[in-house]
Structure 1
Amino acid sequence: MPEIRPFRGVRYDLARVGDLSEVVAPPYDVVGPDLQAGLLDRSPHNVIRLELGLDEPGDDEASNRYTRAARLLKDWRREGVLADESNPALYVYHQSFRVEGKEYTRKGFLARVRLEPFGRGKIYPHEETMSGPKADRLKLYEATGFNLSPVFGLYPDPTNHALGAVEAGIRDRTPLTVTDHLGVENRLWPVTEVEALAAVQGLMADKPVFIADGHHRYETAVRYRDDRAASGQLSGPDDPANFCLMMLVSMGDPGLQILPTHRLASGYPGLSTATLAERLAPEFDLEDFGEGPSGCLACWQEMELDGAQNVLGFGTVDDGRWTLARLRSDATMGTLVPEHSDDWRSLGVSILQELVYKKLLADLGTPERIYVHLLDEVTEAVASRSCDLACLVPPAGMEHVEVIASNLEKMPPKSTYFYPKLLTGLVLNPIR
């Protein structure tokens, strides 16, 4: 079963850096060039300099953004900008945020989790990974010897007993508080009381963990551990390379939000509602919802009210109209992807990818897709004609993540978007 451990984290000394919000950053995979530049300008000690530094002319194997990150990290520790905790701790982590007009607070805790290769224990992935990001993270791990950014893990605990046990160690304590660039309020409390640590370790001992976000970082941590074992550099089962930094959140947490990931597809120039209907009609029952932002909203509200995965929304940019498409039968999906389970085939993202894009619209071309999560982003793209076909997709639920991951299947790319992202820089984890 997954084993969690308290650890002596490395954290910023506020006496040296001042406002913590000046030195934290989102995880590397959501940082574009503009945000990266803004974070670099914000503080000479912003963690983005470690997590995602800039390439420079003349970089080579001996001098590059990874070696610069390692040098900076060593300098900051020597100068006291970053300091080691005095005692092993778990870290309670709350994030308060607003989505589509509603307020939420997601609660969990940061811990070291013993690494297990996927398929050999009780830690499960749910999405496919790509080789490029893993190669990038491995170079950073090797250079710095640190997990800079936590993996996001979910575990079944309907009554939230494990969180309650660790939160028993923060009563009447003031948290570190950071408001990030999206307005999310992040609060962190270290927990060092032996009784609280022992209680939560016991409660977590028999629970599986499902990776929500950070699959590339987790697989890279396993690769890093295996490489060190092969070269004889592991000191034993308690070597820090046997663990990774993970945020653990109960699947029953009221603040756990999975946003939909809508697709903005280009590559279908001149596609009209009539042509789309002709293509979809053999498999879908279709309903017109009007045009413009009001049509988009009405279509999405009907999808939310229905709550099923087999209902998709389509906005044709050529004429600005919105169509709701309800799949009539699972038979064609069974024929198209027989190697996958019924649960996988029933996902909205699977239906869109395999049936709509690859079969019904295949002869129109292979679309280029941009992924967005809010209705305003969809309507803005349609109004600016920056795509040819906007596709509304129902969000996968925790029940889909759990059952598909437990079957050792992986969802199609961009199936889930857990909001908000975890901040990088609140606490760092040494792995050697």
Structure 2
Amino acid sequence: MADIRGFRGFRYDLGSVGTLSDVVAPPYDVIDTALQQKLYDASPYNAIRLELTRDEPGDDDQHNKYTRAGNTLREWVAANVIRQDTARGLYVYEQEYTVEGATFTRRGLMARVRLEAFGKGKVFPHEQTMSGPKEDRLKLYRATGFNLSPVFGLYPDEGEVFALLEPLIRSAPPLVAKDHLGVTNRLWSVTDSATVSKVIGLMGPKPVYIADGHHRYETGVKYLEERRALGEVADDEAAPNFCLMMLVGMSDPGLLILPTHRLVSGLAANVTAPQLEAALGGHFDIVERTGTDARAAWEHIEMDGAQTTLGFGTVADGQWLVAKLRDTTVMAELAPEQSDDWRGLGVSVLHKLVLDRLLRERIGGEPACKYVHLLSEVTDATAKRECQLACLVPPATMEHVERIAGNGEKMPPKSTYFYPKLLTGLVFNSLKKD
């Protein structure tokens, strides 16, 4: 069972900092230099000064962006800029957002979740991680002693959890923050002990699948191991045993997985549509040629609904085509150690078969990818000739995440993109105290 707990979160005192919109920030992994500066300028209390502090001249092992973040957080807590809530509870988090002209609302609850090594309990990863981000986050955990941003977790449900929470959150006004992408973020604190106990009871038997924040979760496990080795974890109820997690039901109507399209460079030559067709011909049927119309290619993929239907735009001649894998047995040869579910993913077919085999053999070079999510980002990049080949990939589904993660596998990198990202700065979780 996943061990879910209410907790006493740390939150901004809006009387001290002003508007909540001015002090929240996206998670570290989607912040570039320009956005970092914009957030610095938004408020002297913006969470960017904790989540992704700037490097400064003269930084060394004793004085650096991590120690600055730790010092800043301690100063804010001492000055009551950030205060710990007096009552233990759960935090309902709602995000209203628009994608491709359609508006969605996604809801979940923030809680403490007991950390456990992957494969040893009921918390399952679905994507591979890299060492660099984990080392970065570990340094920040050591310096601050806080979870600054939540891990994003998913659980199977039929709406029973929010049936309990709905009456409470609709009778109280939320805190509201609008982020830099125009997403409206709403937060409620739920401290009614009977409701919190019922929610925890419902959540207990459920598995949790990590949607986003794998690096932060694994960093939490590592931090817990370090604290134990130092004798700083008194018992199984001590704060470092848990991490801050946002939990969203898999049936939530606002839970959207965006596709992650690939912009490919590094080929030995600028490939044209006829050359691409020749390269794909042994394994794919060309089911539609849409000329210069990328949207028509994408609409075909959406209507088809199959993971094995991919779209390709050849920048050299501005042409688009849709190709469907003829026989999936080739994937068993290319990825024999993986399950049929894994081998059937569009991203698996694209990388294992198209990029790593067919294009290397027929075109040459070392294909390298840039990742985007919106069709407009693809068409902008091709118009500016920022890549040689654009690849449209159908999004993985919640069923893929549940089956593959539940099987103990990890999906290929950049298989899923759960939009929008969860904000940093709504609730902080101490790893030092309850």
TM normalised by structure 2 equals: 0.98
What does the per-residue CA deviation read over 1:54-91, in whole Å, with 9 as the maximum and x for residues that have no partner? Answer: 11111111111000000000100111110110111100
Structure 1 equivalent of residue 73 of structure 2: 73
Structure 2 equivalent of residue 431 of structure 1: 431
Residue 182 (structure 1) aligned with residue 181 (structure 2)? yes
Residue 377 (structure 1) aligned with residue 366 (structure 2)? no
1:166 Cα offset (Å): 2.9
**1:123-138 matches, cutoff 5 A:** 123-138=123-138
Alpha-carbon separation, structure 1, partners of 2:69 and 2:83? 17
Structure 2 equivalent of residue 396 of structure 1: 396
Alpha-carbon separation, structure 1, partners of 2:29 and 2:252? 25
User: Retained in 2: the 8 A contact 1:168–1:196?
Assistant: no
| 3-state SS, counterpart of residue 34 of structure 2 | helix
Alpha-carbon separation, structure 2, partners of 1:299 and 1:416? 21
- What amino acid maps onto 2:342 in structure 1? W
Query: Could you list the runs of 5+ residues in structure 2 that have no partner in the other structure?
Result: none
User: Retained in 2: the 8 A contact 1:92–1:167?
Assistant: no
Identity of paired residues, percent? 58
User: Retained in 2: the 8 A contact 1:66–1:143?
Assistant: yes
Structure 1 equivalent of residue 305 of structure 2: 307
| 3-state SS, counterpart of residue 83 of structure 1 | strand
What does the per-residue CA deviation read over 1:150-190, in whole Å, with 9 as the maximum and x for residues that have no partner? Answer: 00000000x21112223343241000011111110000000
How many residues are treated as equivalent by the alignment?
429
1:102 Cα offset (Å): 0.7
| 3-state SS, counterpart of residue 276 of structure 2 | helix
What does the per-residue CA deviation read over 1:256-301, in whole Å, with 9 as the maximum and x for residues that have no partner? Answer: 0000000000122320001101100000001342332xx2111110
Alpha-carbon separation, structure 1, partners of 2:63 and 2:147? 21
Alpha-carbon separation, structure 2, partners of 1:175 and 1:400? 34
| 3-state SS, counterpart of residue 366 of structure 2 | coil
The answer to which of 159-168 and 326-335 deviates more is 159-168
What does the per-residue CA deviation read over 1:229-270, in whole Å, with 9 as the maximum and x for residues that have no partner? Answer: 122110111101000000000000000000000000012232
Structure 2 equivalent of residue 164 of structure 1: 163
**1:92-103 matches, cutoff 5 A:** 92-103=92-103
User: Retained in 1: the 8 A contact 2:89–2:193?
Assistant: no
Alpha-carbon separation, structure 1, partners of 2:300 and 2:42? 43
What does the per-residue CA deviation read over 1:101-141, in whole Å, with 9 as the maximum and x for residues that have no partner? Answer: 11100011100001111000010000000000000000000
- What amino acid maps onto 2:419 in structure 1? Y
| 3-state SS, counterpart of residue 88 of structure 1 | coil
Of the three residues 309, 332, 335, the one matched with 1:334 is 332
Query: Could you list the runs of 5+ residues in structure 1 that have no partner in the other structure?
Result: none
User: Retained in 1: the 8 A contact 2:291–2:321?
Assistant: no
Residue 17 (structure 1) aligned with residue 21 (structure 2)? no
- What amino acid maps onto 1:117 in structure 2? A
Alpha-carbon separation, structure 2, partners of 1:350 and 1:170? 41
User: Retained in 2: the 8 A contact 1:87–1:192?
Assistant: yes
User: Retained in 2: the 8 A contact 1:289–1:296?
Assistant: no
Alpha-carbon separation, structure 1, partners of 2:311 and 2:105? 29
**1:245-394 matches, cutoff 5 A:** 245-268=244-267, 269-292=269-292, 295-363=293-361, 364-394=364-394
| 3-state SS, counterpart of residue 361 of structure 1 | helix
Structure 2 equivalent of residue 87 of structure 1: 87
Alpha-carbon separation, structure 1, partners of 2:302 and 2:212? 24
User: Retained in 2: the 8 A contact 1:109–1:163?
Assistant: no
User: Retained in 2: the 8 A contact 1:289–1:298?
Assistant: no
TM normalised by structure 1 equals: 0.98
**1:12-161 matches, cutoff 5 A:** 12-157=12-157, 159-161=158-160
User: Retained in 1: the 8 A contact 2:2–2:123?
Assistant: yes
What does the per-residue CA deviation read over 1:329-357, in whole Å, with 9 as the maximum and x for residues that have no partner? Answer: 11111011100000000000000010001
Alpha-carbon separation, structure 2, partners of 1:289 and 1:34? 39
RMSD of aligned C-alpha atoms? Answer: 0.8
Alpha-carbon separation, structure 1, partners of 2:182 and 2:170? 26
Alpha-carbon separation, structure 2, partners of 1:290 and 1:173? 52
Alpha-carbon separation, structure 1, partners of 2:207 and 2:370? 33
Structure 1 equivalent of residue 193 of structure 2: 194
User: Retained in 1: the 8 A contact 2:91–2:190?
Assistant: yes
Runs of 4 or more above 6 Å deviation: none
